[in-house]
Chains A and B, each alone.
Chain A
Amino acid sequence: QVLLQESGPGLVKPSETLSLTCTVSGGSISSDYWSWIRQPPGKGLEWIAYIYNGGSTKYNSSLKGRLIISVDTSRNQFSLKLSSVTAADTAVYYCARQTTHDYHDSNGVSKQWFNWFDPWGQGILVTVSS
């Protein structure tokens, strides 16, 4: 059973960098997609970024330029750094896994795509305040 656990500071000052780590147990981080998702208090879910194939990345364009997602395969961890934070970045931050499935494209070429988010970490509340 794969388990995810977020860690990092719960309070970050405005303009500083938010740094979080997700530790994966029960499975290898070298396969699948690994995401960060956030949820401002009382609001909906926003996908932030994912890392896959041990290092390829994709970021939410609304946050691009402030984000870095990285992986440490030796520790089975992946991390998020969000710079120049403001109060709008206050949220519960979740890490989550997406497994993959194989399919054939319109030319019959076999490809891989990601699945749903499962499992999720418990989440960590990060407050941006001076």
Chain B
Amino acid sequence: DIAMTQSPDSLAVSLGERATINCKSSRSIFYSSNKKNYLSWFQQKPGQPPKLLIYWASTRESGVPDRFSGSGSGTDFTLTISSLQAEDVAVYFCQQYYDSVPTFGQGTKVEI
């Protein structure tokens, strides 16, 4: 199985500042045939299911604010919140769908 490792485990960011979350896969999740990275990002608030933010590593889901952006390729990926808002306090997970066994990162808790 492909292991997904996020860093940091938690971070505290001031309102309006940038938050950066990293995700590393144990092997490449880039498929050269279609030039796509098989990575998604989710946001989870307490008592709620994960909410899809980003897929194909950098495509924002409809309705997701443009302060959320995804980047990276191969094995190293980043989720950036450009200007943190109070409602962004949550746990963020990356997930690969390259392999027949989907796997998640351990999560990163973002606090104010």
Contact = CB atoms under 8 A, between A and B. Distances in A.
A46 B103 CA distance: 7
Interface in B67-112: 93, 95, 97, 100-107
Contacts of A120: 49-50
Interface of B: 31, 33-34, 40, 42, 48-50, 52, 55, 61, 93, 95, 97, 100-107
18 contacts: A44-B93, A44-B107, A45-B93, A45-B107, A58-B101, A94-B50, A103-B34, A104-B33, A113-B97, A116-B52, A116-B55, A117-B52, A117-B95, A117-B102, A118-B52, A121-B49, A122-B48, A123-B49
Interface residues of A, number: 24
Given A44-B107, A103-B34, A116-B55, 11 more contacts: A44-B93, A47-B101, A47-B102, A58-B100, A98-B97, A103-B33, A104-B33, A106-B33, A117-B42, A117-B102, A121-B49
A7 interface: no
A115 B34 contact: no
A58 B31 CA distance: 22
Contacts of B34: 103-104
B105 A117 contact: no
Interface of A: 35, 44-47, 58, 60-61, 94, 98, 103-106, 113-118, 120-123
A85 to B, nearest CB: 22
Nearest to A46: B104
9 A-B pairs closest in CB distance: A116-B40, A120-B49, A45-B104, A118-B52, A116-B55, A47-B102, A44-B106, A103-B34, A44-B107
Contacts of B42: 117
